Amino acid sequence: MPIRLSKRMDTVAPSATKAMTARARALKAQGRDIIALTQGEPDFDTPAPIGKAGMAAIAEGRTRYTAVPGIPELRQAIADQIGRDHGLARTTDEVIVCSGAKQVIANALLATLDTDDEVIVPAPCWVTYPEVVKLAGGTPMIVDCTDSPTFKLTAEALETAITSRTRWLILNTPSNPTGAVYTARELAAFADVLREHEHVAVLTDEIYAELVYPPARFASLAAIAPDLSPRILIVGGVSKAHAMTGWRIGWGAGPADLVKAMATLQGQTTSHASSIAQYAALQAVSGDQGHLADFRATLRKRRDLLCERIGAMPGLSCRVPDGAFYVLVDCTGLLGRRTVQGTELGTDIDIAMWLLEQFDLAVVPGSSFLAPGHLRLSYAVSTDDLEHACNRLQAACDALMREAA
Ligand SMILES: Cc1ncc(COP(=O)(O)O)c(C=O)c1O
């Protein structure tokens, strides 16, 4: 008899980005020269001083259990960073360190949602939000922003989406998958709406905060509306900006009661993030951060290269995103076309599969992010790979146009 799975598992879908990456890996293992623009992580190595801090933690025996919400030095360094960047005084009691930002979000939603509680998720959105809301017993209320050229939520749409059952609004800036960055003015308009609805808390996922390309500027709701900070949970981490995805360190900074509940939950599940990784993250947060400017400059060049090339491809179009390392490409111009093999490309999923199977190029279908008719391309790959990927995409578009002629 197979082991029976819980009903809970019926509601949760596996990560689509991971599924596409896995398929690309499987084809690579068969010897195919696949280029993957699927990954949500930079191709940079973790900066050496950060790695050294991790190694020092091992050498010095700092390898035992730590406090559940994290080592005090790291919580203090995170509180200090929030003080600097957001102008908000947070104490260590208001900070929890988890095994990645993903666990922060899961802890927060599991600690606060009851059946029928609603969470507003503007879409396109990161695949995990609706799934974790469902896992926690809540209902994701998707606000479709795909028609807006910037893919952003508006204050009017927020006002309309709020009901008496709304518990959270999830804001992600810069956004995965769109790269959109909310301006201070847009956030101020959200704050005006939220002031009228005291029962709504805000989870503001700022994992890509350091990856904003001027003239765009990062802005945070908590900084713009400090009066709302008792109901804001800032989610951050080292994964993306410090090239530390595998270290698994993220944090939540919010009201002490919420942080305490999240720690209670974490104490009964994973206990705490790796002690070694916490010391490495301490170096990332409080040590020299010169690498951030280098990473940003490199990513920006790749963004410009990718957007310029896409602009010249028949059937595809995109806006130049202000942050993160993704471009959400409109591929509706390719829908309904026939491939050389005679298949009709009816959806973005068909297009993504065709690109992978016929052109050895892996991208993620926009449907995975509730953005059908789009493809998400990550430019966190080497410039060489990015150029080859663009050549393949161009060849694919040209081939479709030839078929149509
Ligand atoms: C918007 C967003 N939030 C959170 C995460 C998770 O970050 P971590 O690796 O720290 O769990 C990701 C990773 O893809 C993301 O894109």
Q: What letter does residue 43 receive in the DSSP assignment?
A: S
Measured in whole angstroms, how far is the alpha carbon of residue 206 from the centre of its chain?
9
Q: Which of 39, 96, 207, 328 to mutate to test the pocket of ligand 1 (most atoms within 8 A of CB)?
A: 207
Q: Which of 15, 20, 102 to mutate to test the pocket of ligand 1 (most atoms within 8 A of CB)?
A: 102
Q: What is the pLDDT of residues 148-199, one digit of tens each?
A: 989 999 999 999 999 999 999 999 999 999 999 999 999 999 999 999 999 9
* Predicted local distance difference test score (pLDDT) of residue 24: 85
Q: What's the pTM?
A: 0.96
* Predicted local distance difference test score (pLDDT) of residue 11: 84
Q: What is the pLDDT of residues 333-370, one digit of tens each?
A: 999 999 988 899 999 999 999 999 999 999 999 999 99
* Predicted local distance difference test score (pLDDT) of residue 87: 83
Q: Strand, coil or helix: what is 156? A: helix
Residue 383, CA distances (Å) to 102, 152, 243, 386 in order: 28, 29, 17, 5
Looking at the predicted structure, is the pLDDT value of residue 20 above 80?
no
Q: What is the pLDDT of residues 198-218, one digit of tens each?
A: 999 999 999 999 999 999 999
Rounded to the nearest whole angstrom, what is the distance from the C-alpha of residue 222 to the centroid of ligand 1? 20
Give me the DSSP letters along 258-300.
Answer: HHHHHHHHHHTTT-SS-HHHHHHHHHHHHS--HHHHHHHHHHH
Residues 6+ apart with CB under 8 A from 48: none
Rounded to the nearest whole angstrom, what is the distance from the C-alpha of residue 119 to the centroid of ligand 1? 18
* Predicted local distance difference test score (pLDDT) of residue 69: 98
Distance CA 169, CA 190 (A): 10
Distance CA 105, CA 97 (A): 11
Q: Is the CB of 207 under 6 A from ligand 1?
A: yes
Select the more confidently predicted residue: 342 or 262. Answer: 262
Average pLDDT over residues 369-395: 97
Instruction: Assess whether the region 8-45+291-400 and the region 48-287 belong to the same CATH fold.
Output: no
Atom of ligand 1 minimally distant from the CA of 41: 14
* 48-287: CATH number: 3.40.640.10
Average pLDDT over residues 47-52: 98
* 8-45+291-400: CATH number: 3.90.1150.10
- At 239, which amino acid appears? S
Report the chain's mean pLDDT, rounded to a whole number: 95
Looking at the predicted structure, is the pLDDT value of residue 45 above 90?
yes
Length reported for the chain: 405
Q: Is the CB of 174 under 6 A from ligand 1?
A: no
Q: What is the pLDDT of residues 296-342, one digit of tens each?
A: 999 999 999 999 999 999 999 999 999 999 999 999 999 999 998 88
Q: Is the CB of 176 under 6 A from ligand 1?
A: yes
Q: Where are the domains of the chain?
A: 8-45+291-400, 48-287
* Predicted local distance difference test score (pLDDT) of residue 405: 66
